[in-house]
A and B are shown apart, each in its own frame.
Chain A
Amino acid sequence: MTHAIDVRQLHKSFGDLEVLKGIDFTVDSGEVVCVLGPSGSGKSTLLRCLNRLEESNSGTILIDGEDITDIDADVDQLRSNIGMVFQQFNLFPHLTVLKNLTVAQTGVLKRSKDEAIGIARQMLERVGLSDKIHEYPAHLSGGQAQRVAIARALSMKPKMMLFDEPTSALDPELVGEVLDVMRTLAGEGMTMMVVTHEIGFAQEVADRVVFMDDGVVVEEGSPDDVLRNPKEDRTKQFLRMVLET
């Protein structure tokens, strides 16, 4: 069976700094995988390699069985199938919420304007922000902005979603609304890979948890195994530090 994401021996360096030192892991279709680890462990870089926002140095990345590190791969086509949500939301500030959701639909997928608007409305309803459709991003709270960013990614009807610390830039009281949306999405069977510091969310929603440190996968398994009975010392140490604060 082909995995949705299949990473083999992935290496990535920034200059002399080796950030990923041979990563192997898979995500199956419909699976929710949370990636945990201290900052600087390479988890965000790994995520960004999956849609080639970063170019890996060696190793292969198969998305639905297709090698995307291939020099001939159609990067734009690949990216339109993978939704990505950023820590800083990265909404387009000069466009309304509606335009944020339709600009790539009409431009990249060549959907008609009416179809794009219809899908945009549907996605905004999914994240509970139908009333913000004509607002500019500056008028949204952080939590609302991130939900719009999720809706924007969903508007492309992607096969999978990547989340790069989606709640790290939010005020604590706004984290819940974003996690709720992600929880619903997971419940609907979306393939998701989530880099996060929200241990509780990982515990509850993830099918599998991957713990990374220093450019390698230290430990992976079910949330119960990794988060409650970690085998590796580095995992134990990390969890102790995170749970204390």
Chain B
Amino acid sequence: MVRPLTRFRIMTKFTHRQRARYYQITMYAVAAVVTLVVVFAADWSKIQKNFFNSEIAAEMFPEVITSAVKNTALYTLVSFVLGMILALGLALMRLSSLKAFRAFAIGYIELFRGLPALITLLFVGFGLPIAFSGFRIPGGVLGRGSVGLALVAGAYMAETIRAGIEAVPKGQTEAARSLGMSQTRTMFTIILPQAFRIIIPPLTNELVLLIKDTSLFFILGSTPGTKELTKFARDFMNAERNATPLTVVAALYLLITLPLTFLVRRLERSAAKAR
């Protein structure tokens, strides 16, 4: 009678740590088995030839950098800047004391957040020129695509900026106004600089999303000089009947987005220091 009870006690004493350990060992074992199966079952030469073909990859250079990466970066940057300007205006309208401004901002934000970006791009790229014959947004693919994406990104970023502005303590406004600063000056020299520090992380997410959304520009058509990464890879893939261009381009996307998130972490740290 005594024995099982003692054993039970000992078990409960160690069971927590032990269970975690057994769990870990099991998971490692499963992972090892899966890895082995994949390594031996996969047709490596085929995978290498189709996804990691160094000859085809080499053919993509240097155009993939000098043209495709450059275009993706350019499209992203222009869309981001346009979207940011739009978003700032919308955020200020959203917080305005005038009801008409607030209503417009809310309507705009809900509309463009509810639509697929592709639809907006089609509207800007084809809908407008058809409806108003001769009307064309200047700047070719860059102009039409960036305006289209900015319309969408502006809606998302407006909500982010508004949240940032609202996160700045009310005492900041009171202190600035009590020094005689006007409402506008208070907003631009005191509130917005603090708001932007707060929203650097979500804004960077916006930027990363935009980088990826520029792949939708293919819908606007392209000339050899205006292809961004995805379109460039697709055409290359079709010409070579090989998937390697996709792998290369995927790696290049990561090469752009990963340093960006790294940069943000550093910015966050220095912002935290200044608070």
| B12 CB–A CB distance under 8 Å | no
Cross-interface CB contact of A92 among B175, B177, B178, B185, cutoff 8 Å: B175
The answer to whether the Cβ of A212 comes within 8 Å of any Cβ in the partner chain is: no
Cβ-defined partner of B189 (8 Å) among A78, A86, A107: A107
| Given A84-B175, A108-B179, A136-B273, 4 additional A-B pairs, CB 8 A | A80-B180, A94-B275, A103-B181, A138-B275
Pull 23 A–B residue pairs with CB atoms less than 8 Å apart, ordered by A: A51-B178, A53-B174, A77-B180, A78-B180, A79-B180, A80-B179, A84-B175, A84-B178, A86-B171, A86-B174, A92-B172, A93-B275, A94-B193, A94-B194, A94-B197, A104-B181, A108-B185, A136-B273, A136-B274, A149-B175, A153-B179, A156-B179, A156-B180
**Is A33 on the interface with B (CB-CB < 8 A)?**
no
In the complex, A195 has a CB within 8 A of chain B = no
Specify which chain A residues have a CB less than 8 angstroms from the CB of B273 in the assembled complex.
136, 138
Interface string of B166-196 (1 = CB under 8 A from A): 0001011011111111100100011001100
Q: What is the CA–CA distance of A149 and B194 in the complex, to the nearest angstrom?
A: 18
Measured CB to CB, the nearest residue on chain A to B196 is A94
Q: Report the interface size for chain A: residues with CB under 8 A from the other chain.
A: 29
A107 CA to B180 CA, complexed, in Å: 9
Which residues of A sit under 8 angstroms from B275, Cβ to Cβ? 93-94, 138
Contact A90 B181 (CB under 8 A): no
Rounded to whole angstroms, the CA-CA distance of A166 and B270 in the bound complex is 30
B189 touches A90 (CB 8 A): no
Chain B interface SS verdict (over half): helix
- Residues in B neighbouring A103, C-beta threshold 8 A: 179, 181, 189-190
CB of A88 closer than 8 Å to a CB of B: yes
Closest A residue by C-beta to B194: A94
Complex-state Cα separation, A108 to B190, whole angstroms: 13
Interface residues of A in 74-128 (CB under 8 A from B): 76-84, 86, 88, 90-94, 103-104, 107-109
Q: Does A152 contact B (CB under 8 A)?
A: yes
Q: Are A88 and B180 in contact, with the CB atoms below 8 A?
A: no
Shortest CB–CB separation between residue B211 and chain A, in angstroms? 28
Q: Please, what's the 1-or-0 string for B12-46, where 1 marks a CB less than 8 Å from any CB in chain A?
A: 00000000000000000000000000000000000
- With a CB–CB cut-off of 8 A, which chain B residues contact A94? 193-194, 197, 274-275
Q: Which of the residues B175, B180, B181 comes within 8 Å of A86, measured between beta carbons? A: B175
Residues of A close to B174: CB separation below 8 A: 53, 86, 90
Question: In the bound complex, what is the Cα–Cα distance between A92 and B169 (angstroms)?
Answer: 10
